[in-house]
Amino acid sequence: MTRQDPETDATRWLSQFETALSARDAASLRALFHTDSHWRDVLALTWRIGTVSGGDAIVPALLAGGRLSRAEIDAERTPPRPVMRAGEDAIEAFFRFETASGRGDGIVRLTSDTDGTLRAWTLLTALEALKGHEEQVGRARPHGESYSRDFRGPNWLDLRRQAAAYEDRDPAVLVVGGGQAGLSIAARLSQLGVDTLIIDRYPRIGDNWRTRYHALTLHNQVQVNHLPYMPFPPSWPTYIPKDKLAGWFEAYVESLELNYWTSTELEGGRYDEREGCWTVTLRRADGTARPMKPRHIVMATGVSGIPNIPDIPSLKDFGGKVLHSSRYTDGDDWTGKRATVIGTGNSGHDIAQDLQSSGAEVTLVQRSPTLIVNIEPSAQLPYALYDEGPSLEDCDLITVATPLALGKQTHRILTERARQIDKKLLDGLERIGFRLDFGEDGTGWQFKYLTRGGGYYFNVGCSDLLVEGKIGLRQFADIDRFVADGARLRSGEVLPADLIVLATGYKGQEALVAKLFGDETARRVGPIWGFGPEQELRNMFMRTPQPGLWFIAGSLAQCRIYSKYMALQIKALEAGVQADYSQEASGLASAKPPSGLGFQAQTTSR
């Protein structure tokens, strides 16, 4: 293949790809891919989310999947261009295509073989819309019954209240949790015409952020964090304060007309295989119980569910106050007091800094090695893509198009760069005995989040306070037991405390599933979050072994991106487009190749 310009090269490859796939020509398909290549399909050809790695595995997986047609460079997106991804030069081209049931978006990255021939290094095929079931956004504005001027009938507010009350019906989808995950999936579903109700245990929309500790702000920058359909105003600060975000959640629910019940908890439920729906009980603010029968339950309660309280037998002997980090609000009550914070992730560091700034004498206790990265510029390196010029939608698709292997390589490079930038701070931490690590195989904080939901800290000043000795540091292994006045160390010294904060994280969602739906359902679903044998995030954003039970979690960006694909699956099931749960999709499922998650940069406030 003679090298020409990026658009010509990409157009030629796409034409050859569509022809070979339509003809089911295995030999011609194989010639289009490098030996070390990756195909990621997101619902378009397989109704699954997964990656096939290696040219020899890609071809049978493609042939086992669906067909595509009308593949062409997408003139409305970023033009084909030379880029560097995971340290390699490539031509990156956006394209669009059609399948029997939908329209798709794709990205192909071409690199030269040893003979100069351009072959595919990575290929993404992602479902964008279901034919006949498109989102309402971007179409003609509604002029239906609720927008007419009926002077004798209910007005818009009356109709909204009636819709949100669910007095005469049950929702098709019940979303448990009203944070960024719940809002994103509810917004997507509502634009697809799927009746959806969000419930949240807090009394006010946004309280899941509003009630967190006083000084909290997001740790990644505003341009990465938009929710679907409503970008943040350009006047907003680079790092969003918790209360500002909480207020936006309220405005978001109102603006997008999402049905949302505050002060409501899911007490439990069971799934009826014959009827294809759940029977659940909701406990309202006034104490009344409301039974419901949704066909789908979306758990949007976050990566973590129930606070993790470590079993420390001697802690009961401590005479002061013990709080889990989830219940910590403000350091002003502890001015002039002594505090011990156990745990060195984001929450532990932020709470220690908040207490110190309030005039408390603080000691941070480290339980395990922790990854430390300065908030700027190092922690922002993974988000450079969102400053390169492509639109938010294009950046999101680029993110989805990056398979696990390339994501890991990218973050090894970024982590090593951050280590060099932050060398002075890291050397100082090691001098005072702080134990550092840099993620599995040096893949950094992003993959710590993906595998365990924590284990890192974005330094906004607490690490400097540790190095300067303004906050004390101890190792948990040096504590013999807790006593009335604090912690007695193995040396015999007593570390005095009036307050102990357990910044010890949260249990996985498996515990919450067992609590709400029983041990049998929890066993059926299996582990949630982290990578499984096929190297996908387990049971996230896609169908699970339990019919009608879905999970969504992560950063605002991750929820924005993957809510689209979850909503498309639910809509397809509701519309009878997708095969039911008793039928496994072909393609990736039957080929059983190595698979991986298209990497999404993530952050959390904890």
3-class secondary-structure state, position 208: helix
Tell me the per-residue pLDDT of 353-374, one tens digit each, with 9 for 90 and over: 999 999 999 999 999 999 999 9
Q: What is the DSSP letter of 554?
A: S
Q: How many CB atoms lie within 10 A of CB 570?
A: 24
Write down the pLDDT at residue 3.
59
Residue 286's Cβ-side half-sphere holds a number of Cα atoms within 13 Å equal to 2
Tell me the per-residue pLDDT of 450-484, one tens digit each, with 9 for 90 and over: 888 888 999 999 999 999 999 999 999 999 999 99
Tell me the per-residue pLDDT of 501-538, one tens digit each, with 9 for 90 and over: 999 988 888 889 999 999 999 999 999 988 776 667 89
Residue spans per domain, the chain: 6-130, 168-305+507-591, 311-504
* 160 vs 146: CA distance, rounded Å: 9
Q: What is the CA radius of gyration of the chain?
A: 26
Which of 115-119, 493-497, 499-503 has the lowest average pLDDT? 115-119
Non-local (6+) Cβ contacts of 20 within 8 A are 28, 29, 32
Tell me the per-residue pLDDT of 44-95, one tens digit each, with 9 for 90 and over: 999 999 889 999 999 999 999 989 999 999 999 999 999 999 999 999 999 9
Q: How many CB atoms lie within 10 A of CB 350?
A: 27
Q: Which of 258, 216, 260 is nearest to 240 (CA)?
A: 216
Phi-psi region of 529 (alpha: psi -120 to 50; beta: other; left: phi over 0): left
In the chain, % of residues over pLDDT 70: 91
* Domain boundaries 168-305+507-591, corresponding CATH code: 3.50.50.60
Residue appearing with tokens 């010029």 = 389
Tell me the per-residue pLDDT of 206-265, one tens digit each, with 9 for 90 and over: 999 998 878 788 888 999 999 999 999 999 999 999 999 999 999 999 999 999 999 999
Phi, psi of 18 (to 5 degrees): -65, -40
Contact 541, 565 (CB under 8 A): yes
- What are the structure tokens assigned to 562, written together? 């993957």
Tell me the per-residue pLDDT of 132-144, one tens digit each, with 9 for 90 and over: 999 987 665 655 5
Write down the pLDDT at residue 450.
87
Write down the pLDDT at residue 145.
53
Strand-pair category, 49-53 with 88-98: unpaired
Edge-to-edge strand list for the sheet holding 494-496: 479-483, 486-489, 494-496
Residues in the chain: 606
Checking if the pLDDT of 600 tops 60, the result is: no
Strand-pair category, 259-261 with 196-199: parallel
Write down the pLDDT at residue 122.
97
Non-local (6+) Cβ contacts of 314 within 8 A are 481, 482, 483
Q: What is the DSSP letter of 231?
A: P
168-305+507-591 and 6-130 share a CATH fold: no
* 305 vs 302: CA distance, rounded Å: 7
DSSP states of 483-519 = ETTEEEETTS-EEE-SEEEE---EEEHHHHHHHHH-H
Write down the pLDDT at residue 211.
87
Phi, psi of 264 (to 5 degrees): -130, 135
* 517 vs 47: CA distance, rounded Å: 27
Partnered with residue 241 across adjacent β-strands are 217
Checking if the pLDDT of 494 tops 90, the result is: yes
Which of 25-34, 392-401, 536-545 has the lowest average pLDDT? 536-545
What's the mean pLDDT in 290-317?
A: 90
* Domain boundaries 6-130, corresponding CATH code: 3.10.450.50
Write down the pLDDT at residue 595.
31
What's the mean pLDDT in 337-363?
A: 96
What's the mean pLDDT in 182-186?
A: 98
Phi, psi of 506 (to 5 degrees): -135, 155
Which of 28-32, 266-270, 492-496, 600-604 has the lowest average pLDDT? 600-604
* 411 vs 409: CA distance, rounded Å: 5
3-class secondary-structure state, position 545: coil
Write down the pLDDT at residue 149.
67
Tell me the per-residue pLDDT of 406-437, one tens digit each, with 9 for 90 and over: 999 999 999 999 999 999 999 999 999 999 99
For 50, 64, 135, 268, 536, the CA distances from 589, given in Å and listed in that order, are 9, 9, 28, 32, 13
* 185 vs 556: CA distance, rounded Å: 11
Q: Which CATH superfamily is domain 311-504 in?
A: FAD/NAD(P)-binding domain (3.50.50.60)
Write down the pLDDT at residue 583.
38
Write down the pLDDT at residue 215.
78
Contact 238, 247 (CB under 8 A): no
